[in-house]
Amino acid sequence: MKSGASQVRFVLVTGKGGVGKSTVVASLAKAHAKAGRRVLVALCNVKEGLSKLLGCAPLDADVRPLAPGIWGVNMEPERCVEEYGAMTLHSKTLYTLLFDNRYVRTFLRAVPGLHEWSMLGKAWWHTTETRDDGSFTYDVVILDAPATGHGLDMLRVPKVIVDVVPPGILRRDAEKAWDLFRDPARCQVVLVTLAEEMPTTETLELAAALQGDLGIPVGRLVVNGVTTPLFSREERETLIAAGAADHTPGTDLDEGLREAAAARSERETQQARQMKRLAEGLGLPTTYLPFLLDGATTPASTDVLAKRFLDGWLV
């Protein structure tokens, strides 16, 4: 692996909804596994599509194997609270006695940020989990975090706990997690975007909030669905102008080719413009994932994208 990649214990993947975040998570998991690392993928109580990308049964609230070297869990907040309570009290029976009633459950649901912390804290806890020989159970935990705004809200919770909660077990664990999230040697925040105007703008704002408001370093940018350019900048300008000009109708084939070339040139121009904004605004190491003509929703396509991570980052 490249310098630093093998030390990362926690990878947090976030970005605007609809940019292919789950595809990136699945491809990253496969890349880490192919590099010889034991990987846990943690989802945040979502209607998941990861199973289709990895070719396995749907994920549920139990950690289980998904593919060679990859385990997964779709975290449920109330289940996470129960697990955390049982670990804290060192007794599931005592937890059930104290907390398993409708009044306490109603109260817990009303505590701001508790469900977010229960999932984020569980994902963090798995980075500390060890086997009988003392080695880590997982070399890396990949969290498929909620999209942009909700992802920021989730990451704010441990900081609030550290700032306002009195000393105790909850604050102790939040402090350990918060230290990890702010350590670029152990935690890698990966932003996923498309080279389009709205996702680019939201990604720039997300990076500013993470690095500025929260002080969490962003480690990498992934630009998904990149179309391979067919034309040079000069050729694009010429073709776009030709597409906008009045033309004497020719054959249907000539007209169709002209319109297709102009549309492709416009797409390439917009893509280049947004990629320049991202490069100038973020200055981050960047992985570009290609637009796949046959889609990116199969295990085979995930293998193709995983190779991009292996070739350009992890090894």
User: How high is the pLDDT of residue 238?
Assistant: 76
Q: State the fold for domain 5-228+283-314.
A: Rossmann fold (3.40.50)
Contacts 24+ apart (CB under 8 A), 302-308: 302/23, 302/26, 302/27, 302/30, 302/53, 302/54, 303/30, 305/23, 305/24, 305/27, 306/27, 306/28, 306/30, 306/31, 306/34, 307/31, 308/27
User: How high is the pLDDT of residue 218?
Assistant: 95
Grade residue 205 by pLDDT with cuts at 50, 70 and 90. very high
User: How high is the pLDDT of residue 195?
Assistant: 95
Grade residue 92 by pLDDT with cuts at 50, 70 and 90. low
Flag whether pLDDT at 95 surpasses 90: no
pLDDT > 90 in the chain, percent: 56
Angle at 281 between CA 276 and CA 284, to 5 degrees: 90
Domain extents in the chain: 5-228+283-314
Report residue 89 as tokens. 């009290």
Q: What is the mean pLDDT of the segment spanning 88-114?
A: 53
Instruction: Express each pLDDT in 170-191 by its tens digit.
Output: 789 899 999 999 999 999 999 9
Instruction: Express each pLDDT in 265-288 by its tens digit.
Output: 788 889 999 999 999 999 999 999
User: Of 23-32, 42-51, 104-113, where does mean pLDDT reach its minimum?
Assistant: 104-113
Q: What is the mean pLDDT of the segment spanning 139-162?
A: 91
Q: What is the mean pLDDT of the segment spanning 59-77?
A: 96
